[in-house]
Structure 1
Amino acid sequence: MTAKQQMKYGRLIPVMLCFFAMGFVDLVGIASNYVKADLALTDAQANIFPSLVFFWFLIFSVPTGMLMNRIGRKRTVLLSLAVTAVSLMLPLFGDGYGLMLCSFSLLGIGNALMQTSLNPLLSNIISGDKLASSLTFGQFVKAIASFLAPYIAMWGATQAMPTFGLGWRVLFPVYMVVAIIAIVWLSSTPIDEEKPDKASGLVNCLKLLGTPFILLCFIGIMCHVGIDVGTNTTAPKLLMERVGLTLEEAGFATSLYFIFRTAGCLLGTFILQHLSARRFLAVSVVCMLVAMVGLLVSEAHYVIYVCIALIGFGNSNVFPIIFAQALTMVPDKKNEVSGLMIMGLFGGTVFPLLMGVASDAVGQNGAVAVMSVGVIYLIIYTLRLKK
């Protein structure tokens, strides 16, 4: 390995640890189920937690794109990690409704800052045709944190002594330590950034949505994260409703989703180097469509598990493909485009709210029907991509 390659990988490793920290936001799925059980909430009330987390993407994503023009991408990532660490510290002081709302709000704000700045920061290390596969590898690292969360929470809920009385909330200090390590490591890593985009205002950023393809990408990311958060929160409820499992037993469904999402990200890293983004996205969307049909018509537990796995695999590469397509469309406004695309994660607010209302009305099939709308849109998006 040459000295240049060693320097490249030396910068890449702490950035990938930040992608791991980015995955902390997905703990909201399993956490909202535990909070629901602790506080005896309805589905609609419990789904406020994931919705609240992703609400902040609507508020902070575009301003973060402008903030990067002023202080740089690396400093913005460091700020996001600091906010994330604080959010993970709050549950150490209790599990009251208000405290958890504050924690999840800060987690959403930190993640909005991180997702907006970390992806373009990676483009300072990896560029060209390898960017999409590198973003996919980052999603693979992120997914590791996502699928570990239910296991750590389940361990905390069932092992009283080692968790210092925190129960399932032991998940928070574990991830807080990782966030602090990421802050120290990234701050000591030199990264040469591109010249900042020209200063632009909020209106100019939002005008990019007037570009038809950018708007398609924006809505596509809304659907992707809506399906992601929706499956994360609904999978255990499906098993509890149809099979009669306990929350601890049904929590495996969330891990199963992230296991296959992780595997899909890893495979996508290599597949995207040999297969066009359009073809791979088409395969991914078909997997999700088959899964949605299966969840709507079957009550067999093994079919539910297979469908959850298919959604995890199918949804694993949607974000990096859409994100890379958007950055390529407007290469001279990467920071602004990144802010807009991450604002699309607001879909994580819209979908759970609609799913909560639908599931309270007609059961979990209502939630699955809402996610199916997102899958149908992704089919339309795929057909619009160039071959």
Structure 2
Amino acid sequence: MANDDWSTLPLDLLGDIAMKMDTIDDYIYFSAVCRSWNRASSLIKEQWKPIRMPWLLLAENTSNNPHCVRKIFNPSNNKCYKLNLPETLGARCWGSDYGWLAMVDRKLNVRLFNPITKAEIHFPSAGTIPGLPPFNKKKDGNKEGYINWVLRAFFLRLIVLKLSETEFVIVVIHGNFDQLVFAKQGDQSWTSIFVKQEICVRMFDVVAMDGYIFALYNDASLVYWNIEDFRGHELVKPIDYSIRNFEMFKDFRSGIGAVYLVQSGSDLLMVFRFREEVSDSDGNYHPDVYETFGFSVYRLDPKDRKWEEVKDHATLFVGGNSTMSVSAKCLQPSCIYFTDDEMDLSSLVKEFGGHDMGVYDMKSEKKRRFYEGDDIRSAYCPPTWFIPQL
């Protein structure tokens, strides 16, 4: 081309070029070149499939940030992107595989929010969730403190389920005994899910996989529901999966550790995270100074209904706000990226909260930091993984 006017390239040729973009950020850069490139990218948007790559929504910057700029970190290229996200101001966020952040804001509104497209789906108010104590001025003091408690302590996790391309469900793990409730878009209230009534039995995690939702308890039991059961508004009783071996639970202490469920391809994985308290330069230990020192990963054998330890697996991303698995060439396999999810501990001391974040190599049993910024601390919304979608 004599004048090198790339904007005059035919739309079908530009579309072929856009289809070769591997990542969301490359696609966005391509669409922002000029009007004709943007037009071409929009025409192939439905057919274009990017590499599944988790991004990390970093903690909110609450000082000198009038435009509500929030950083998002991409571990595949070690780049940070800055987005104006006033919608997330003061909210607690949980990531998902579908591009959505599940959010509860300071007015207790619940919604799905896409930080890239700014699309939203609204759900019933968190104030209608069964088991949430109402604000009591005499007991709670001020409303601000009550909201902080709800965001930090009452909500343990929000999980996004996909019923169809346009239908989504939010499942909420909440309360002192890890109760479950769910709601579909368009519902006016939340529906309770049948859970164990034993007072000492706590729920570790919940994950959706192949049309089912699995829940793991600290008594080593695994139960599941059919996701289709969540189309109704009735109490749904789970089916006991009857795991036969649970020796790995005997030596695990969940007081300063975590257990996650992760779907990895056709496998259901259980990930043990081990933390320890660390001493300062004087040899003193503090309960709010801790670090992760290792992981163990188990795969569920559906035939024998047993957990078997594995060392080789896809790259895993874990944290209290989201868990996921990807098989990308740009990431090292058998590694676990982890974020700090000790909400009770991280909120005690500002200097230490959020610090326990890095990547652990299962084969070398070594860890390193993957992000060196200081925007990792939050009393109610720690960094969370999500897979971006347009």
Q: TM-score band (shorter)?
A: under 0.3
Q: What TM-score comes out, normalization by structure 2 length? A: 0.24
Bigger relative contact order (CA 8 A; separation at least 6): 1
Larger gyration radius, structure 1 or structure 2: 2
Bigger helix share = 1
